[in-house]
Copies of this chain bind each other. A is one copy, B any other.
Amino acid sequence: MKYVYTFGGKSAEGNAKDKNLLGGKGANLAEMCHLNLPVPAGFTVTTACCTDYFDQGGRFPAELESQVLDALRKTEATMGMKYGDPVNPLLVSCRSGARSSMPGMMDTVLNVGLSSTTIPAMIAKTQNPRFVWDSYRRLIMMYADVVMEKAEGRDPAKGVGIRKLLDTALDEYKHVKKCTSDTELTAANLQELAESFKRRVQEELGVPFPDDPMKQLWGGIGAVFKSWNGKKAVSYRRIEGIPDAWGTAVNVQAMVFGNMGDTSATGVAFTRNPATGENTFYGEWLINAQGEDVVAGIRTPNPLNNDTKNAQNDHLQSLQELMPDTYKQLCGIRAVLEKNYADMLDIEFTIQEGTLYMLQCRVGKRTGTAALNMAMDMLQEKIIDEKQAVLRVEPAQLDELLHPILDPKIEKGLTPFVKGLPAGPGAAAGVIVFTAEAAVASFRANRPCILVREETNPEDVEGMRAAEGILTARGGMTSHAALVARGWGKCCVVGAGELHISLENQTVRAGSTVLKAGDVITLNGTKGHAYVGQQPMIAATENPRFQKFMALVDKFRTMGVRTNADTPSDAALARTFGAEGIGLFRTEHMFYGKDSAEPLFLLRKMILSGSTAERKAVLAQLFPFMKSDIKATLLAMDGLPVTFRLLDPPLHEFIPHSQGNREDLAKALGIDIKEIEKRGEALKESNPMMGHRGVRLGVTYPEISETQIRAIFESAAELIAAGKTPHPEIMIPVTCDVRELEFSKKIIDAVYADVLARTGLKSITYHLGTMIEIPRAALLADKMASIAEFFSFGTNDLTQMTFGFSRDDTGGFMNDYLQKRILDADPFQTIDQSGVGMLIEIAAQKGRQVRPNIKIGICGEQGGDPASVEFCYRQGMTYVSCSPYRVPIARVAAAQAAIRHGKK
């Protein structure tokens, strides 16, 4: 097994394609060598070696030693130096490098190879004892921490981390020596410090700091491997969804020094502006410094060039000004790299006494705006083709382009007074209000407000609509507040557990911050932060190239994208975002959040009816409202399908919760409030999510379904008469047995025949289908398909039932599940492909067995999640449906899935 790959001197054993084996850093170092770029020589120990190392219980494979020694000889030859040599010693770094970038998550050891033998040689060679002793004390500090303590698992005697102890010792020494900065320490000081550090290491960890360069090297390699399973790395992988099995490579590379004086420097750059996408070289650098100094942000770095100058750094000299030749060389490298990679790159370089070295290059991270602009620019520049352009924008990044955001430069300097979950994108600012009523009042008074609640419920919806943003103390990413807010593309932060709301005092407290109603706060719904005061935002100006890009996207997209919309105006909005129909129209929406409105009043009256006859009479009064809502939506989506889901929520959701509202209702209905309380009590359920809802209501009260179905058919008939082309689809929710569909179909058939008879129409084109959101319906999908012409996976409920997770209650354990790696991701955010996905696959297959052309879509929250969209594409779905603001995201994700997985 070949575990070691060398690079350097214009050649390398690997190249950029070997990322899986060499890690990103190693593969790109090899690639740069092939491009004749100045790369310090070295070698990469593969990720396969890391995996084997862990498989063997933390032991190096037997064949590794000779391979490393051979590679070291080759590196020495290329660099013209010798590792551990008493005359011309080579020093090396040991750096991690996984397949996918995990910045700062794993450990690095620099200056490896400094010892009692090599130090004098280095001093002789560099004539810079201060530099050498400083490098040595850095090695001791890093090595003791990373290798001896963390990787080799030693406990310091005092129980405090060795790094911290040595840092403190350094500070004390400076204090004694009356120095304010490291640079004031002399070579002698640093030598003295290094010696005392070594004593300290021995005392604390019980073993001496190794003086043998080979021992140092093996320690460094092992430490990098072990850092793959360090706490930080594991939790980063959890967030980014990187598999544990990948492992990291180790890059052992000849040290070059940017801190050898004023002709030395170090810097990082992007080949194009990562924030805007502009085609200008963008970077920062520091003279006489090591790489970590740029990242650490202790000194304000210099601008790379004029293009990079800004208010904070324009008093500092650019590389372009100070080292024009080196800058020119770097510009040449930029061009070579962009041409080779056909993408924007993020590079690291070091200048050692006037000589430029490339230490890293990789595809650079970028904002959504930048991604879009670069994709379109590079397409125009013919660097990439159309498919590549479509693949260049992360679907989720489109969010940025569609919502106003907090100015990131300003936000950097702010401390949130509370943090929660990022539930609705963008930013919002306004005065604090604590009730839906106050939000509505504030809206009417033209005072933007933020609705701050323990959690929200359907009665708050009007207030949520009126507020600029929503902040809740409880609830997760799929709580009521989060669902509603994302549906509207409204800024929302949920589950900010630190919030203590006192409705009585009209105050909210988080830590030491106490705010009252009327105080202004600002939310960043993309991050989940809340700030005191009005913070500046960047307007949601639509990138002029957005439309062009989306047209390109649709060229490759094969799967349909519909929207979840409950009102004619949402339908119209979604159509502008490119929705090709409505995948989910919640017929109950018209009843939400309008306590004073007629439809809700009538619905409540219906719920409180004592008999079928009474219920039918109220339904007749409700009918015109239902019909007008449905007709207007069909009109807004004229020519496109509109899926109407029959009444879904349990009836008790509509009984007023507050005493006041109950009293009003009792008065309006002319009944005793006790009647309302009694009915509310009777309808109460232990687990309403699995209670009397969906088609179960239709079975108990067929007259409700009948009224809704009649409203759909009559609306369609009237539109046909007016020359329109309505495409209604009737969807039965919460089904678990085909007999529920048979039951519903009887009602539909009867109403259909009746409407035809009354209108004289020969036919109305419509489809009957079902939600698949209960595991049993998925398992018995062949039966369901005997009636259903389409399936729409309700992935929210399907996920709830498949996991046995109530989405309102995952707050108690979801964090533990993610942190302890029981789950890789919250299944309410992205489809659980192994479990829920298996049910979807079973259902799709069984459905197609019975009805080969059955239309299949999803309408859960995950319809707008790119990974889920890709999954749906692979399942051969007809469409996905998501909230209006996520329609463009789904379009991009669907196009990318088609490019990646479609028939070639």
Contacts and interface: CB of A to CB of B under 8 A. Distances in A.
B801 A804 contact: yes
A776 interface: yes
Contact of A803 (B739, B774, B800, B822): B774
A804 B692 contact: no
Contacts of A820: 699, 743
A466 to B, nearest CB: 25
B822 A739 contact: yes
Contacts of A774: 802-804
A831 to B, nearest CB: 13
Contact of A835 (B692, B736, B834): B736
A800 B689 CA distance: 11
Nearest to A776: B835
Contacts of A834: 780
Interface string A792-813: 0000010011111110110011
Contact of A808 (B687, B804, B838): B687
A770 to B, nearest CB: 13
A804 B838 contact: no
B822 A688 contact: no
Question: Which residue of A689, A690, A780, A839 has the most chain B CB atoms within 10 A of its CB atom?
Answer: A690
B813 A696 contact: yes
Contacts of A737: 822-823, 835
A802 B804 contact: no
Interface of A: 683, 685-692, 696, 699-700, 734, 736-737, 739-740, 743, 773-776, 779-780, 797, 800-806, 808-809, 812-813, 816-817, 820-823, 832, 834-836, 838-839
Contacts of A692: 809, 812-813
Contact of A806 (B683, B691, B808): B691
Contacts of A797: 804
Given A699-B820, A700-B816, A737-B823, A809 B776 contact: no
B822 A699 contact: yes
Contact of A687 (B688, B822, B832, B835): B688
Given A691-B812, A736-B805, A780-B834, 14 more contacts: A685-B809, A686-B809, A687-B806, A689-B690, A690-B805, A690-B809, A692-B812, A736-B803, A773-B804, A774-B804, A776-B802, A776-B835, A779-B839, A797-B804
A687 B734 CA distance: 17
Contacts of A821: 739
A776 B775 CA distance: 9
A692 B835 CA distance: 20
Contacts of A736: 802-805, 835
A803 to B, nearest CB: 5
Contacts of A806: 685-691
A689 B743 CA distance: 29
A690 B687 contact: yes
A700 B822 CA distance: 11
A423 B133 CA distance: 84
A809 B839 contact: no
A50 B836 CA distance: 43
Contacts of A802: 736, 774-776, 779, 801
Contact of A838 (B685, B687, B743, B779): B779
Contacts of A776: 802-804, 832, 835-836
Contacts of A816: 696, 699-700
A741 to B, nearest CB: 10
Contacts of A739: 821-823
A607 to B, nearest CB: 12
Nearest to A839: B779
Question: Which residue of A737, A812, A834 has the most chain B CB atoms within 10 A of its CB atom?
Answer: A812
Query: What 6 A-B pairs have minimum CB-CB distances, sorted nearest first?
Result: A687-B806, A692-B812, A690-B806, A776-B835, A686-B808, A691-B809
A780 B832 CA distance: 12
Nearest to A684: B809
Nearest to A689: B687
A333 to B, nearest CB: 45
B800 A690 contact: yes
Question: Which residue of A743, A779, A817 has the most chain B CB atoms within 10 A of its CB atom?
Answer: A779
Contacts of A696: 812-813, 816-817
A775 B834 CA distance: 12
Contacts of A773: 804
16 contacts: A683-B812, A685-B806, A685-B808, A688-B806, A690-B803, A690-B805, A690-B806, A692-B809, A696-B813, A699-B820, A739-B821, A740-B822, A775-B802, A776-B803, A779-B835, A801-B802
